[in-house]
Amino acid sequence: MWKPNQSSSSPVPPAPEPVRPAPPAFEPPVVRPAAAPAGPAGDQATIGKGLMIKGEISGSESLFIDGKVEGAINLPGNRVTVGRNGQVAANISAREIVVLGKIRGNVAATDRVDIRSEGALTGDVSAARISIEDGAFFKGGIDIRKPEAKQAAAQASAAAASAPEHA
């Protein structure tokens, strides 16, 4: 019988495994907003789900609502986002309104109203654009208005076209 020569074919020891650092005991969750950053500087105030506000809200930055609000919300030129936990019983006036939670009241947006699939809106809508996803709840009227800047420019060009020429 043939026996291999053990002196010439010694087994190769396995390569050592790379040293990996131990995982941290706690990793903070990564928090991402439900909507894109608001306004030119990205400023956005938040009403957390543990808060309830009664009264009028006005200001010059965008607002994310995950709690309860009763009253009126007036944020011209900014975005109002009602989060999944948000419950709003108020009339809202803003540049853009995004509905993920529940709104009971009339909304007026100079740009757009966006009702997502989890959202519910009971009230009238006045906006230049509206988007209602499948699965969303909406009960009320819709008034589509042309954006004010474009409407004013169109009226000015129409007036200029109809004015008589002076020689």
Residue 120 lies inside a defined structural domain of this protein = yes
- Expressed as residue numbers, the domain containing 115 is 44-148
69 within domain boundaries: yes
Q: How many helices (H) and strands (E) does the chain have?
A: 1, 12
Q: Residue 19 domain-assigned? A: no
Lowest-confidence pick of 9-13, 74-78, 102-106, 114-118: 9-13
Residue 43 confidence (pLDDT): 82
Q: What is the pLDDT of residues 99-144, one digit of tens each?
A: 999 999 999 999 999 999 999 999 999 999 999 999 999 999 999 9
Tell whether 80 is covered by a domain.
yes
Is 32 a member of any domain?
Answer: no
Q: For the whole model, what pTM was predicted?
A: 0.65
Give me the chain's average pLDDT, please: 80
Q: What is the pLDDT of residue 70?
A: 96
Residue at 133 is within a domain = yes
Whether 27 is covered by a domain: the verdict is no
Find all residues with CB under 8 Å of 108, minimum gap 6, and list them.
91, 92, 93, 94, 125, 126, 127
153-165 pLDDT, tens digit per residue, is 555 555 555 555 5
Query: In the chain, how many domains are there?
Result: 1
Question: Of 26, 77, 75, 19, whose CA–CA distance to 47 is shortest?
Answer: 75
Domain-located, residue 37:
no
